[in-house]
Structures are given as structure tokens and as C-alpha cells.
């Protein structure tokens, strides 16, 4: 179970500021699970509009952070890094639940567990926590596609 600093995270995700939502990986067991961290700060660009009087991290971005953790787990499982030949897409989100708001100063611990993998389809359970409290849960379905296939409409 290996950890990854931000430099290694950048090798596995094509995302960059302001859309990179993983600061470090605490542990990764390829083919099984991954635990990562997102430090939420008042400097996040979304807080100026969501909401100026009471900053709340949008739930969709918590789901995106879980998906980025799932992407790292997928790439680590396959033994690949992010490149310009593949793209990682959401294909479904089920049973998403938001249990409490996330705000500046919170540290999100993102946990994803691989449930199934068949061909290019990956299904994960994801949980985001602040301290020990669950803030978000969801089942994520993702696929990895060749850029050439996407460009050709396949």
C-alpha cells in the first residue's frame, strides 16, 4: 500500500488547477482500494460564488474528487499513467448522498473501493469523510477510452 505525493498524483491525473482535487494519496492497493486527501481552503475558486455569505464546497465537486481518486486507482491497477492517448470518463453516478456541508478548513479524506472491472468499465464505491464523519457517499461508474475512439465517435 503505497502513498503518493502531489508530484506523483500529477503523473496519474491529467487534471490541473483549478480542477485538480487530489492533494495526496495516503494509500493505494491496486485492484482494491485507494485513500486520498483534498485540503479545502478558502482560496478555492468556487467559494466566491458558492456561497459568499456561507462558503460550501459544491457536492458535484466532492463527487469529482472521488472520481479522480478512482481514476488514480484505475491507472495504478492497469500499470499506466495519464497520457494523451486515453481519457477517463464518468458513465454513471448512483446512490449519491450528501450528509453534511464541506467548507474552508476541512480536510476531505476520499476512499474508493473497486467493486467490479470488466473490459473498459470500472465500478467503485466512494466515501468522503471530514474527520470521521461521512459527508458524501456514491457509487461511481467510469470508463477509460482511447482518444482516437472518442474522436471517431466510437
Residues labelled as active-site residues: 50
Residue 8 Cα to chain centre, angstroms: 15
Cβ neighbors of 28 (< 8 A, separation 6 or more) are 1, 2, 3, 4, 34, 35, 72, 73, 76
**Residue among 89, 102, 93 nearest 133 (CA):** 102
Backbone angles phi, psi at 12, to 5 degrees: -100, -10
Residue 91 Cα to chain centre, angstroms: 14
Cβ neighbors of 119 (< 8 A, separation 6 or more) are none
CB 123 within 8 A of CB 117: yes
Amino acid at each position: 500500500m503505497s502513498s503518493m505525493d502531489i508530484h506523483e498524483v500529477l503523473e496519474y491525473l491529467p487534471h490541473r488547477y483549478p480542477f485538480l482535487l487530489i492533494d495526496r494519496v495516503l494509500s493505494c492497493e491496486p485492484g482494491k482500494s485507494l485513500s486520498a486527501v483534498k485540503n479545502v481552503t478558502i482560496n478555492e475558486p468556487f467559494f466566491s460564488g458558492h456561497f459568499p455569505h456561507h462558503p460550501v464546497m459544491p457536492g458535484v465537486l466532492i463527487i469529482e474528487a472521488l472520481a479522480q481518486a478512482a481514476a488514480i486507482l484505475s491507472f495504478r491497477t492497469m500499470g499506466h499513467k495519464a497520457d494523451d492517448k486515453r481519457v477517463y470518463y464518468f458513465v454513471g453516478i448512483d446512490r449519491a448522498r450528501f450528509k453534511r456541508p464541506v467548507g474552508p478548513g476541512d480536510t476531505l479524506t476520499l476512499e474508493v473501493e473497486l467493486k467490479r472491472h470488466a473490459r473498459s468499465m470500472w465500478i467503485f464505491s466512494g466515501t468522503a469523510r471530514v474527520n470521521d464523519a461521512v459527508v458524501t457517499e456514491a457509487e461511481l461508474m467510469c470508463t477509460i477510452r482511447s482518444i482516437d475512439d472518442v474522436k471517431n465517435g466510437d
